[in-house]
Amino acid sequence: MFVKPEAASALFAGPFALGTLSAPDGPAFPALVTPDGQALDLRTPFGGESLTVRDLLDDWETTLPRLRALAADTSLPRTPLAGLRVHAPVEPRQVFQSGANYRQHVIDLHVAHRAPGDDRPEGERRAEAAEIMDRRAAEDLPYVFIGLPSAITGPGDDVVLPAWTEQPDWELELAAVIGRPAHRVSVEEALEYVAGYTIANDLTDRATVFRRDMPQIGTDWLRSKNAPGFTPLGPWIVPTESIAEPNDLRLVLKLNGETMQDESTKDMIFDVARMVAYASQTARLLPGDLVLTGSPAGNGMHWGRLLRDGDVMESSITGLGVQRTRCRAEETS
C-alpha cells in the first residue's frame, strides 16, 4: 500500500506510532510515524542499515524512551507519508490466535449451527449458549492456537483468494504486540509485557475449518487460515501508553463500503491481559510476537456473503488507524 496524499495523515492515538515503510523500489525500514503524516527513518538514530521494528521491540525498555524523545524533537528531518509504501509493521516469530472470544459472536454461531433434530426455540438455544460462555469465563479457558508468520501481509496489499477456497471470510481482530519475553506471567502483570497494539484481519476459509475425511480430528487451522496473505496486519503499532483502555475499543469492518462488523472489545469473553497470560502459561512469548484476540459478530457466514474477487475490506480499530485490502481471485491456467 502506497499512502496517497489525501490519506497521508496517520490516524492513530498518541504522539507517535511505529511502522515499516519503503520508498518506491527502496528497501523497507523501521519508522517513527507522527499524526501529522510524517515519518522519521529510525535507521540513523538507532545506527543500523538492517534495523527492523522487531529489533526495536527486542530492547523495548530502552527503545521506548528514545522514541518519545525523537517524537518530541521537531528539528529532525522527516518525510511525508504520501508516496511511501506501508508494509506489515512487524515480522513476528510467533502468532497466537484466539477463537470464540466475543460473546455475541459465539452465541450467534451456536444458534446458527443447530444440531439435527434440535427444534428448540431460538431464545432457549441463546440462553444455553450464554450459559456456556459464562462457564468458560469462570473456568478461565480461552481458546488459543498457532498461526504462521508467512500468512502476514501489509495493510493495503491485495489478498489473493486461493482457487481451492470455497468460503473465504473476514475476521477483524485487535492484536497485541509483545515487547518483553513472557513465560508463565500472571493476568495482573500481563499487560506489562505488551509493547503496543495493531490491527489484524484473520481471514478464514470456513469450508476447511473442520476435517472432512475424519471429523473426529477436529479443526484444521493450517488449511483454513494460513494461506499466504491471509493475515493483513497494520498499518501501525501504537504503544500501549497511547491506548488508555484496550478493553473498550471499537472495531469496524466495511465490505465495499457496507458495515459488516461493528463491535466493542468490551464484548470479549477474555480480555487482552487474560489472553496474554493464558498463552504464556504454555509458550514463551517473544518480542514482536502477536496475540490476536478474536473477532466479533458480523462475519460473512452471519451475513450469508463470503469474500470474492474485487471485494474491498476496510478495517479500523479505535486509535490504531485503518487498513484497506482488496481481494483478488487466484489466477489459474
Nearest alpha-carbon partner for 193 in 185, 203, 201: 185
Separation of alpha carbons 245 and 139, rounded Å:
24
Instruction: Please count the structural domains in the chain.
Output: 2
Cα end-to-end span (Å), the chain: 27
Q: Which of 87, 106, 127 is the last residue of a domain?
A: 87
Residues forming a β-bridge with 144: 98
Render 268-325 in DSSP notation, one character per residue: BSS-HHHHHHHHHHHS-B-TT-EEE----S--HHHHT----TT-EEEEEETTTEEEEE
Chunked mean pLDDT (size 10), the chain, 333 residues: 46 95 94 95 92 97 97 93 95 95 81 71 85 83 95 97 96 98 98 98 93 83 95 98 95 98 96 97 98 95 94 97 97 81
Domain of residue 130 covers: 95-329
Separation of alpha carbons 250 and 234, rounded Å:
16
Predicted model pTM = 0.93
pLDDT digits (tens, 9 = 90+) for 99-153: 889 988 777 777 766 666 778 888 888 888 888 888 888 887 899 999 999 999 9
| One domain for residues 215 and 276 | yes
The helix (run of H) or strand (run of E) holding residue 263 is strand 258-264
| One domain for residues 58 and 206 | no
Separation of alpha carbons 111 and 107, rounded Å:
6
| One domain for residues 104 and 199 | yes
| One domain for residues 126 and 9 | no
pLDDT digits (tens, 9 = 90+) for 259-284: 999 999 999 999 999 999 999 999 99
Q: Which of 40, 57, 87 is the last residue of a domain?
A: 87
- The alpha carbon of residue 36 and the mean position of all alpha carbons in its chain are separated, in whole angstroms, by 24
pLDDT for the residue 108: 75
| One domain for residues 324 and 278 | yes
